Amino acid sequence: MNKTQKAFNFAGKSGMYDGVITGTGFFGSLVSNLVWKMDKEKDLEYQRLAKKGVPKDFDGSLLEVPVGTGILTMPMYKKLPNADVTCLDYSEGMMNRAKDRAQDMNIKNISFVQGDVGKLPFKDESFDFVLSMNGLHVFPDKDAAFSEIFRVLKKGGVFCGCTYIEGECKRTDWFINKIYVPKGYFNLPFDTKESLEKRLKGMYGEVEVETVISEACFKCVK
């Protein structure tokens, strides 16, 4: 198991992850304010922008990578009973929480696959939609992740989500480089807003990128 898998297995099993990613609870809101310079409103804003490309009545095939504990997406899947949802992550500790959450919410149209985004176990053009929230700054091999996501997306399909970008807030960048990277929660190198836009425009036909401080939210059409 590598450093990132170990870090997220611990985060998932310990139960600390959900508060931190949603900026809720004492520790979660402290991290959100101190590290990300975000309040509740900004937290909700980036989460909304990251998912805004998913149609309210979506009924196609959707891949979420990485699903983590599913805290940010299970409520949305609950409202998409006709979608065919596949969730992938390589940390068992995180994904077991997502599975439990889906079961507790009685979500039936969902399956879970443990795997590596750099080697997705799906055929070319398998999905109408790929959603990736807070993952691209974590994946150790970013080029492989971007190219695998592109490969499994159908022509005309949509790729949307959010990722950390460097260069927007010095305080955030400091915490990321001094704490998150050494612990394995984030992996270098990081995109800036400009490099992310350039990368996505080099691959996709239509690209929109909006930022909430150091979170870039994107929607791309293949």
Ligand X SMILES: C[S@@+](CC[C@H](N)C(=O)[O-])C[C@H]1O[C@@H](n2cnc3c(N)ncnc32)[C@H](O)[C@@H]1O
Please select the residue that binds ligand X; options are 16, 84, 118, 184, rule is CB under 6 A: 118
Interactions with ligand X, residue window 73-102 (CB under 6 A): 89-91, 94
Least distance CB 194 / ligand X (angstroms) = 23
Stretch that binds ligand X, among 51-59, 61-69, 163-171, 209-217 (CB under 6 A): 61-69
Please check whether residue 110 is in contact with residue 84, taking contact to mean a CB–CB distance below 8 angstroms: no
Tokens of residue 172, six digits: 């955030």
Q: How far is 117 from 91, CA to CA, in rounded Å?
A: 12
Residue nearest to ligand X (CB): 68
Closer Cβ to ligand X, 61 or 69, answer by number? 69
Least distance CB 8 / ligand X (angstroms) = 4
Please select the residue that binds ligand X; options are 38, 107, 133, 212, rule is CB under 6 A: 133
Q: Where in the chain does DSSP place strands (E)?
A: 61-64, 84-89, 110-114, 127-133, 153-164, 206-212, 215-221
Please select the residue that binds ligand X; options are 97, 135, 158, 180, rule is CB under 6 A: 135
Angstrom CA distances, 39 to 30, 33, 103, 159, stand at 10, 6, 31, 27
Decide if residue 138 touches ligand X (CB under 6 A).
Answer: yes
Q: How far is 73 from 67, CA to CA, in rounded Å?
A: 8
